[in-house]
Amino acid sequence: MSPPPWQAEVYAALKSAGIRQIGYVPDAGHAHLIEAAHADPDMQAVVLTTEEEGIALAAGAWLGGQRAALLMQSSGVGNCINMLSLPVNCRMPLLTLVTMRGEWGEFNPWQVPMGRATPAVLTAAGVHVHPADHPGEAAETVAAAAALAFDSAVPVAVLFGQRLIGAKVFVQ
């Protein structure tokens, strides 16, 4: 099954923004981006054991003159909170694309608390939050978030809603 066009547009937006490293904890909603990153000889794709590793990876990339992006699910946002002191305190850019769970048609109640808290905890930690809930706005939101992050040296999260990516379906 080919991915929906907006996912290819998002990868193109990351390329246009000059992203050279992508750290990720896998998520079905990011499957196309992860596959594209691994297939791209000009991209370093780094699989992480936990999401905060990606915050530190992005900081190191910036120190070395490259731009990185971090892909994760909303459940991983909670793992990142203390590590977000790194880009905030060091006035470094951070671009993270977050696939949401627990907010639109969620089947699994265990996903709901972190999904509900995600925008608030990111904001409280000093991260700018840009939601994207419709296919037509996904790539332009990523492009705007990248510009804000790298031109103004701030952390920015794009939240891909379940309305956009499709709520996970469990077959009983």
Partner 1 sequence: MNAPGALDRRAVVAALLHEPGDLLVVTGLGAPGYDAAAAGDQALNFYLWGAMGGAAMVGLGLALAQPDRRVLVLTGDGEMLMGIGSLATIAVAGAPNLAIAVLDNGRYGETGAQHSHTAQGTDLAAVASACGWRSTATAFTMAEVEALRARLLSEPLFAVIRISPAESPRALPPRDGAHLADRFRRALGVAPP
Q: Which stretch binds partner 1 (CB under 8 A): 4-12, 42-50, 126-134, 160-168?
A: 42-50
Name which of 7 and 79 has its Cβ closer to partner 1: 79
Residues in a beta bridge with 67: 19
Q: What are phi and psi of 35, to 5 degrees?
A: -65, -45
d(CA 133, CA 149): 20
d(CA 150, CA 148): 6
User: At its nearest, how many Å lie between partner 1 and the CB of residue 88?
Assistant: 9
Footprint of partner 1 on 67-96 (CB under 8 A): 68, 82-83, 85-86, 89-92
62 binds partner 1 (CB under 8 A): yes
Q: Counting beta carbons within 10 angstroms of the beta carbon of residue 52, is it exposed (0 to 12), middle (13 to 18) or buried (19 or more)?
A: buried
Question: Contacting partner 1 (CB under 8 A), which of 66, 104, 129, 144?
Answer: 66
Footprint of partner 1 on 106-165 (CB under 8 A): none
Name which of 19 and 139 has its Cβ closer to partner 1: 19
d(CA 101, CA 109): 10
User: At its nearest, how many Å lie between partner 1 and the CB of residue 25?
Assistant: 10
d(CA 101, CA 2): 22
Residues at the contact surface with partner 1, assessed by CB under 8 A:
20-21, 44, 46-50, 52-66, 68, 82-83, 85-86, 89-92
